[in-house]
Amino acid sequence: MTDVPWMEWYQSLAKPSWTPAPRTIGLIWQILYPIIIATFGFVFLQAGRGRLPLLVALPFAINLVANLIFTPIQFGMRNLPLAAADILVVWGTILWMMLAVWPHYRWVAAAQVPYFVWVSIATVLQLSITWMNRG
């Protein structure tokens, strides 16, 4: 199936009935990415200036990498189990980020709530798709 375009491949997968349409998923990310860019940029800038411990920025860095590699894993490699593991890292690091930054910049932690809600839904979706297409 490696020669099948990624959207055709994705459409061929068994998915839960509540799976959002690809357009809806894209719209959600269009809303979230500016929040992610602003808050992550702020955290990295503050850490770089020494106003925030580097350990507070660590979960943001891990989350950024895990978020960026999800698409190549899911749609490039078409590796559902690895994509499921990756999204669990994304989900876990959002919690870690919120806890780590809360004592320093509560607004940054609060701004992660929509990201956390969406990734919680996306994690259940990914785990469901992975389970439904095992074997």
* Summary mean pLDDT of the chain: 96
Q: How far apart are CA 9 and CA 13, in angstroms?
A: 7
Check whether 2 has a pLDDT greater than 80: no
Q: How many Cβ atoms sit within 10 Å of the Cβ of residue 17?
A: 4
Domain parsing of the chain, residue ranges: 22-132
Which tokens belong to 38?
Answer: 């602003």
pLDDT digits (tens, 9 = 90+) for 70-110: 999 999 999 999 999 999 999 999 999 999 999 999 999 99
Q: How far apart are CA 92 and CA 89, in angstroms?
A: 5
